Amino acid sequence: DTGVSQNPRHKITKRGQNVTFRCDPISEHNRLYWYRQTLGQGPEFLTYFQNEAQLEKSRLLSDRFSAERPKGSFSTLEIQRTEQGDSAMYLCASSASTEQFFGPGTRLTVL
Amino acid sequence: QKEVEQDPGPLSVPEGAIVSLNCTYSNSAFQYFMWYRQYSRKGPELLMYTYSSGNKEDGRFTAQVDKSSKYISLFIRDSQPSDSATYLCAMVDTGRRALTFGSGTRLQVQP
């Protein structure tokens, strides 16, 4: 059973560096989502793809953040010029309908 | 005011107790309701998904939705120490795909 996978699981970086995360959704799911979760809070929506089209972006997704899903399969989330406030768990989810299934997340620490 | 309110807990109960977890919401456009379980430093795991008002049962879990009161509940019967986790409610409105989460309730089941 292959669920949603995310890599890396942990990333420590210095402020000002760029980082990129990868998400591989469940294979038959055409919808893919990125969320961010900070300690003691629920996940907050960042962006959503249907196949390769990015259909919705949250106000949380500043211009330092970019996401792609070039062939409608895996997706990448890049953060440029990281800030300490970017430290969080970045979660990817996929769905074929309304129910969304989450990956294990990538924990980012910005020093 | 947040769109979804959830008591953060922690909620501590003895093994075998019935647990009641609740969320209230303000957006009447929310139509789909989910409960996720999240263990420490892991991704959220989908437990229950409901659409209409009423009850839905799955094993030891019962999800209840009251759209007139904008109130949802998750009941856990015969709670086990392995149920110790953070429980997140999540909702989707008809015009979007993104989930809106509560902040989560931390549950501790004492053996």
User: Are B6 and A31 an interchain contact pair (Cβ–Cβ within 8 Å)?
Assistant: no
Per-residue pLDDT, A60: 83
Residue B41 in 3-state DSSP? coil
Per-residue pLDDT, B102: 97
- In the stretch 45-104 of chain A, residues with CB closer than 8 A to chain B read 45, 48, 50, 55-56, 58, 89, 91, 93, 95, 98-104
Over the stretch B12-61, which tens digit does the pLDDT of each residue have?
A: 999 999 999 999 999 999 999 999 999 998 999 999 999 878 899 999 99
Nearest to A41 among B42, B49, B103 (CB): B103
Over the stretch A62-103, which tens digit does the pLDDT of each residue have?
A: 899 999 999 889 999 999 999 999 999 999 999 998 899 999
Neighbours of B69 (CB within 10 A): 10
pLDDT for B5 beyond 90: yes
- In the stretch 17-56 of chain A, residues with CB closer than 8 A to chain B read 31, 33, 35, 40-45, 48, 50, 55-56
Per-residue pLDDT, A1: 55
Question: What is chain A's mean pLDDT, rounded?
Answer: 95
User: Are B104 and A40 an interchain contact pair (Cβ–Cβ within 8 Å)?
Assistant: yes
Residue B82 in 3-state DSSP? helix
Q: How far apart are CA B32 and CA B50, in angstroms?
A: 6
Q: How far apart are CA A5 and CA A40, in angstroms?
A: 23
Which amino acid, residue B68? S
Which amino acid, residue B35? W
Which phi and psi angles does A86 have, rounded to 5°? -80, -10
Neighbours of B16 (CB within 10 A): 11
- In the stretch 59-78 of chain B, residues with CB closer than 8 A to chain A read none
* Nearest residue to B22 via CA among B60, B79, B82, B64: B64
